[in-house]
């Protein structure tokens, strides 16, 4: 959300700074759904597979800790009537420690998983950002909007262009198609040809 607000203010500032130039020169911008493009990248799918594998390992360890705790608890319940008081207190402390360790492991594993996901996604996001920059420079765009989460319900197609397919071409290592000349150019050439005759 902060990124969207920052982009909006940046685009407004650019328009205001240009002042009268805005009326003389039309600003063209691009737009795409960043998350959708990111999720369509093969690198992202590979990262998600790696994350799933890491998550499964943490889940196995958490299940092991929980099984250990429930076995200790079951033993405690069975021996509750026969244990002397000092052994009961010792077992209660052991149960409390095991429960605290299980909770702490879950919390730490969530932090580690978020960190691992950020580490895996960072180079992929940088690759996508670079592809967007290549397209923006090649098409002479002033800026690129991210339409995630329905941030921009309407974009005038006369002012902005959807660069999704162009970004996908760059990500695939393919060249960008050349920009077609304005539609008036062939008519002008025809008029020149008629004048020659």
Q: Which domains occur in the chain, in start order?
A: 2-177 (3.30.910.20)
pTM: 0.69
**How confident is the model at residue 81, as a pLDDT?**
83
**How confident is the model at residue 9, as a pLDDT?**
55
Beta bridge partners of 160: 29
Q: What is the pLDDT of residues 153-191, one digit of tens each?
A: 888 888 899 999 999 999 999 999 988 754 444 444 443
For the cut 80, the answer to whether the pLDDT of residue 130 exceeds it is yes
**How confident is the model at residue 11, as a pLDDT?**
59
Mean pLDDT of 108-114: 95
**How confident is the model at residue 147, as a pLDDT?**
93
Provide the strand spans (E) within 35-178: 144-146, 160-162
The mean pLDDT value of the chain amounts to 84
**How confident is the model at residue 83, as a pLDDT?**
85
**How confident is the model at residue 150, as a pLDDT?**
85
- Determine the Cα–Cα distance for residues 118 and 104; give it in Å rounded to an integer: 21
Beta bridge partners of 161: 30
Sheet strands side by side (includes 144-146): 144-146, 29-32, 160-162
b/e per residue 176-188 (b: at least 16 CB within 10 A): eeeeeeeeeeeee
Say which residue, 111 or 13, is predicted with more confidence: 111
Q: What is the pLDDT of residues 37-76, one digit of tens each?
A: 999 999 999 999 999 999 999 999 999 999 999 999 998 8
Query: CA angle at residue 126 from 123 to 129, to 5 degrees?
Result: 155
């Amino acid at each position: 959300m902060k990124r969207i607000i920052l982009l909006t203010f940046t685009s407004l500032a650019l328009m205001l700074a240009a002042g009268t130039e805005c009326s003389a020169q039309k600003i063209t911008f691009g737009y795409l759904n960043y998350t959708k493009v990111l999720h369509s990248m093969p690198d992202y799918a590979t990262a998600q597979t790696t994350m799933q594998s890491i998550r499964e390992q943490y889940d196995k360890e958490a299940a092991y800790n929980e099984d250990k705790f429930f076995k200790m608890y079951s033993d405690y319940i069975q021996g509750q009537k026969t244990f002397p008081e000092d052994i009961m207190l010792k077992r209660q402390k052991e149960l409390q420690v095991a429960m605290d360790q299980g909770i702490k492991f879950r919390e730490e594993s969530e932090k580690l998983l978020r960190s691992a996901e950020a580490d895996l996604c960072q180079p992929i996001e940088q690759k996508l950002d670079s592809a967007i920059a290549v397209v923006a420079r090649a098409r002479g765009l002033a800026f690129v909007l991210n339409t995630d989460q329905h941030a921009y319900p309407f974009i005038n197609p006369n002012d902005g262009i959807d660069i999704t397919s162009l970004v996908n071409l760059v990500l695939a290592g393919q060249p960008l198609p050349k920009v077609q000349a304005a539609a008036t150019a062939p008519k002008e050439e025809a008029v020149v040809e008629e004048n020659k005759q």
